[in-house]
Structure 1
């Protein structure tokens, strides 16, 4: 809307974009639902047994970074809950913490949110599917990464037909949420006299009475749950699957989840990333240029090259048919990946350097 589109055009664009990506997600999910294999195993059929580790690492890296960033965003939401309940805890203007400053208040909220997420790493991924649903309707992010590793979830489907619901669930959910967001932002802009698109900023004005603070607390809590669902499903489960595939003798899904949690949320110090590394954030936003070609290769390999037929047993054999050559690499997939990603690097570099 800030680019000049009407609210109707904006909602239409959001619906169309997510409808198109839902087609890719569903088409890839059919593989996982049919053969009950995760992305880490599926990638072997396309890239070769050993070259698949490169494709897995590319997806795992984005999971590490976004886990930390989303954990920090969840901490901001926890901080908003605390401020709404305990006004004296507020020590910054408008009742919201500044990302550039890590105060004792913010670190307390960060620890609280981190501890909230830890128990969920003990739950098996198949029982976290409702968190994925929360992500579908709450996370306003790029779904391109999910098109790559959707089979980390689709593998638990009892029947292949179950994945078709995503074709409409994804675009309709985003369209509904964007419609509500436009109404809320428009009302807040008229009420407070300035354009406000950040819901946490809107809630910073809700401090005039106990009822207003209670509303801010409940709304902030919903954002905490949304961040939790997004982080566990999109980042933690996916990246832990990747770690498990790369180090199967040492890392299971639970151990992988804890590694992701501590490296992503603490070792990478996401508060520093958000405070100063705008180029890194632009890099992570543009990371899709490497993931999208992987999705295309996975789809073409299944539907065109192998004609919707895989040998699951050979996927787990280092010297099976999916080794392709002595290096365990399908050079055709590597070339296709380079053709799909290399031409986009100049524009990507411009975005990172200039912050576009």
Structure 2
């Protein structure tokens, strides 16, 4: 009796799908994992402009010039690093996104044809871990901005008594901000990605205008920019590195900081109405808006140095100074409230889209029967309390450095993905083979394509030593270790791509370059199907469950000799 109740409870928990829309739910598939049909592809160019704008209009991008100025680079060199890095981010994200644009599947499914059905869990688990941690960190950073908003309304909040125990490395002021930010973010997790149009429009416009207003105000009050804006190269004479290596390090660091976002490419490109919408919206936003935010942050910080006599790169700190920790005029507090609210909103939607939703998709890949995007996003958000970001950020000084340097492992992963899709498979994959373990070209050896593992390991093995030394603060180790780490993204990407290509050629696998002749999932428009050489499902005069036999008959497998009547002839 108890087992029967448990079985019924499990059935109720299962994700439901519309079989008529090919939304089959089993161990490898559910509504959010199958190729997206045209009805769910609702994102136009402005959606992608807004998506990437939200990921650019944030506190970390505002502070980016400070990272390179601290290394000793000049303002011009620092901005050159940002411009080049932004162009490369647009390039790599488009490469990863192309599979989603063409076949309408995301990162979770994309890895199955490269790693194997079970092997795909390796990249999935890495991303899930990253999404858990980044979601928690972003909630904590957003909470600081919310605390500024609360102080702008109730100035006494800035001096609230700390009631937390001494072994908790935070204050009541910070913790309340975190709780409010987390709570306000929660309802937006119930919005499906195809419905994100309005938040993207409102939030990106609001925060963008707010940043520009902040810059104009600071320039007006300071009557020009401060000394920071004109700083030249200041590399210490005893430094082991010249400007060229520092620029390379800066580019690598910037790519590393957004590497997880680059892997999200196909997760969101599959929602595009057409490839041109993704390309136009993304490149314009990633490159132009991303560069402009860093420039605005540089100008504003420099002008505010003239006003306040100190440099405040972190917006929450600067905003608190602007309203004198809540003791300033009502006009100052009102301005700070709207500015900090703009920063907080972008942090919120960047976190929801780039971390929580991406985490939801990956969790759905692990447990398709019971988790869809919405449930997975909620689990990722609840995990914030397990991760405890107040412990990570306030106690571990090197934590963010380690987290940003995780690109050491992600770049090789991106390299094998791109090599497999563009070079080895020539952009052709069998969608039906990605959702089953029998009669599939993607099962390999017990579900794992062993060829990808040595290629991936060789991509990050030589660079991880430099990461460890950097985290430990060791500056006397051999230069070669640091040099490899300073170009870890490029080394990992190209090394793994090359080794994977060689291994796949030496030990070939069946099905390379094959694709389904039939659109089993109703994923393509008539124009797309004609371009791909795929037959629309509605042109078949037989039930869907019998259609799969076509591929087996065409490949020469033994089975009943059956003719299938289709619009163009007979199989």
- TM norm structure 2: 0.58
Per-residue deviation, residues 244-274 of structure 1 (Å, max 9, x unmatched): 00011121211111111111x2111111111
Distance 1:5 1:113 in 2: 36
Distance 2:463 2:263 in 1: 18
Matched, 1:244 2:369: no
Q: CA deviation at 1:6?
A: 3.2
C-alpha change, 1:135 and 1:324, in structure 2 (3 Å) is farther
Of the candidates 418, 426, 434, which is equivalent to residue 315 of structure 1?
A: 434
C-alpha change, 1:148 and 1:355, in structure 2 (3 Å) is farther
**C-alpha contact 1:282 1:355 (8 A) present in aligned 2:** no
Q: Segments of 4+ in structure 1 off by > 4 A?
A: 129-138
* Alignment match, 1:209: 329
* Alignment match, 2:113: 45
| Structure of higher CA gyration radius | 2
- TM norm structure 1: 0.91
Distance 2:177 2:121 in 1: 36
Per mean C-alpha deviation after superposition, the further-off stretch among 279-288 and 80-89 is 279-288
Per-residue deviation, residues 126-158 of structure 1 (Å, max 9, x unmatched): 2236767868998x9822112212111111111
The alignment yields a C-alpha RMSD, in angstroms, of 2.2
**C-alpha contact 2:169 2:395 (8 A) present in aligned 1:** no
Q: CA deviation at 1:222?
A: 0.7
Per mean C-alpha deviation after superposition, the further-off stretch among 279-288 and 116-125 is 279-288
Per-residue deviation, residues 31-88 of structure 1 (Å, max 9, x unmatched): 1011110110000011111100111111111000010010011111100001111111
**C-alpha contact 1:237 1:253 (8 A) present in aligned 2:** yes
In structure 2, the residue corresponding to 1:278 is in which secondary structure?
coil
Distance 1:132 1:288 in 2: 27
**C-alpha contact 1:148 1:292 (8 A) present in aligned 2:** no
Q: CA deviation at 1:352?
A: 2.5
Distance 1:111 1:54 in 2: 33
* Alignment match, 1:219: 339
The structure carrying a bigger helix percent of its residues is: 1
Of the candidates 141, 144, 151, which is equivalent to residue 259 of structure 2?
A: 144
* Alignment match, 1:328: 447
Distance 1:252 1:164 in 2: 27
* Alignment match, 1:159: 274
Q: CA deviation at 1:9?
A: 2.7
**C-alpha contact 1:19 1:168 (8 A) present in aligned 2:** no
Distance 2:346 2:119 in 1: 35
* Alignment match, 1:193: 309
* Alignment match, 1:305: 424
Q: CA deviation at 1:195?
A: 2.0
Could you list the runs of 5+ residues in structure 1 that have no partner in the other structure?
93-99
1:1-356 map, 5 Å: 1-91=69-159, 101-128=169-196, 142-165=257-280, 166-207=282-323, 208-263=328-383, 265-319=384-438, 320-325=440-445, 327-354=446-473
Q: CA deviation at 1:282?
A: 2.6
Q: CA deviation at 1:204?
A: 1.5
Q: Could you say which structure has the greater relative contact order, defined with CA pairs below 8 angstroms and 6 or more residues apart?
A: 1
Q: CA deviation at 1:211?
A: 0.8
Per-residue deviation, residues 196-232 of structure 1 (Å, max 9, x unmatched): 2112221122222111111111111011101101101
**C-alpha contact 2:169 2:391 (8 A) present in aligned 1:** no
C-alpha change, 1:67 and 1:129, in structure 2 (3 Å) is farther
Count of residue pairs brought into register by the alignment: 346
C-alpha change, 1:246 and 1:355, in structure 2 (3 Å) is farther
